[in-house]
């Protein structure tokens, strides 16, 4: 079981509160976790990764275990603590005013 923390606006879109818990088949990677997230919450498709390119949207970052994973390859293994559910994968929106 993998835990994911979404930004507030995406929690509202997905109509969830708090963390999301996902079962991910196979190795826990960014791609596998986001695929599982979008399969459970299809309204999030296109909001984290661009529809066609599957690139992370530029104003979003991925963090876990106090590390910035935003620029890690999508198929790189996530930290063991994320894979085990001890720590969540954080999807963070860039801070901006206005």
Partner 1 sequence: MSTVRVLVGTRKGAFVLTADGKREKWDISGPHFAGWEIYHLKGSSVNPNRLYASQCSGWFGQIIQRSDDGGKTWIQPGTPPGESTTAPGGMPKGESNKFVYDTSSGTGKPLTTHQWYDGTQHAWEFKRVWHLEPSLSDPDTVYAGVEDAALFRSIDGGQNWQELAGLRGHGTGPKWQPGAGGMCLHTVILDPSNPQRIYIAISAAGAFRTDDGGKTWQPINKGLYSQYIPNPTAEVGHCVHHVAMHRSRPNVLFMQKHWDVMRSDNAGESWQEVSGNLPTDFGFVIDVHAHEPETIYVVPIKSDSEHFPPDGKLRVYRSRTGGNEWEELGKGLPSRDCYVNVLRDAMAVDALDKCGVYFGTTGGQVYASADAGDSWAPIVRDLPAVLSVEVQTLP
Site for partner 1, rule CB under 8 A: 7-10, 13-15, 38-39, 41-43, 45-48, 50-52, 57, 59-60, 93-94, 96
In the complex, minimum distance from the CB of residue 59 to partner 1, in angstroms, rounded to a whole number: 4
Q: Which is nearer to partner 1, 29 or 47 (CB)?
A: 47
Q: In angstroms, how far is the first alpha carbon of the chain from the final one? A: 37
In the complex, minimum distance from the CB of residue 28 to partner 1, in angstroms, rounded to a whole number: 20
In the complex, minimum distance from the CB of residue 64 to partner 1, in angstroms, rounded to a whole number: 19
Q: Which is nearer to partner 1, 77 or 93 (CB)?
A: 93
């Amino acid at each position: 079981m993998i835990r994911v923390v979404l930004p507030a606006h995406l929690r509202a879109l997905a109509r969830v509160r708090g963390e999301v818990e996902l079962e991910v088949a196979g190795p826990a990677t960014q791609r596998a976790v986001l695929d599982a997230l979008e399969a459970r919450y299809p309204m999030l498709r296109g909001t984290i990764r661009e529809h066609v390119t599957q690139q992370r949207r530029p104003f979003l970052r991925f963090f876990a275990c106090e590390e910035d994973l935003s620029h890690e390859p999508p198929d790189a293994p996530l930290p063991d603590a994320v894979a085990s559910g001890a720590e969540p994968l954080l999807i963070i929106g860039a801070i901006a005013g206005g």
